[in-house]
Amino acid sequence: IQRESSAQQEYALQLQKREHYLTKQEALFFKHEAALAKIRGVEEEVHTKFGVIKERHEAEVKQLTEALREITKENRRLKSSFDSLKEVNDSLRKQLSDVTELNKKLEGQARKVQARLENLQVRFVLTSEISDLVDILQLPLNPQVYELLTCLMDWISDQHLSKMKTQEEREDSHKPMVTQSSKNPCTQEKCVKV
């Protein structure tokens, strides 16, 4: 009985140790379970936040992709416009070069034409003078014309000489004044003669 009682005591002690161990394990299990529940809560919160961040990131990526697409399209349009402007600029530069070259040629031609015009004007004047001279030389020889010219020349000479004499007489106060009509033939007679 003593041995059996000792065995029961030992068994009770083992049961007590076993119960203490199980209680300790149960407390540890509950602690782990609470930690897991907390971790699950945190994990769900992290998943929720990650989902929100992912959605926001995808929206930003989509927005940036669209903006990049628009910028690329604008860059293509600007490059096309720049190429077109470069072509127009090259064309205008070539046209300007051609016009400058043509202007130089036209200026040279204008100088030649101006010189030619001046030569023609001189030639025309000389031709006109020669033509007038030829016309004069080709007039028929009329003796009456020469007589008329002789008479007129005499008349002009007489008038000129009489004026000179009158001037001399005025300067010489000692000589008496002589009228022109007494020294020269009458003007009426000369007109009749002409």
Instruction: List, in sequence order, the alpha helices (H) in the chain.
Output: 2-137, 143-171, 180-183, 187-193
- Tell me, what's the pLDDT at 172? 62
How far apart are the C-alpha atoms of 100 and 106, rounded to whole Å?
Answer: 10
Take residue 39 and report the two structure tokens written for it: 């971790």
Specify whether the CB–CB gap between 148 and 194 falls below 8 A.
yes
Which residues neighbour 169 within 8 Å (Cβ) at sequence distance 6 or greater?
Answer: 175, 177, 178
Q: For residue 136, is pLDDT > 50?
A: yes
3-state secondary structure of 140: coil
Q: What is the pLDDT of residues 23-46, one digit of tens each?
A: 999 999 999 999 999 999 899 999
Take residue 130 and report the two structure tokens written for it: 């020669």
Q: For residue 93, is pLDDT > 90?
A: yes
- The pLDDT-based confidence of 178 (bands split at 50, 70, 90) is very low
Q: For residue 174, is pLDDT > 60?
A: no
CA torsion sign, 13 to 14 to 17 to 20? negative
Q: For residue 140, is pLDDT > 50?
A: yes
- The pLDDT-based confidence of 157 (bands split at 50, 70, 90) is confident
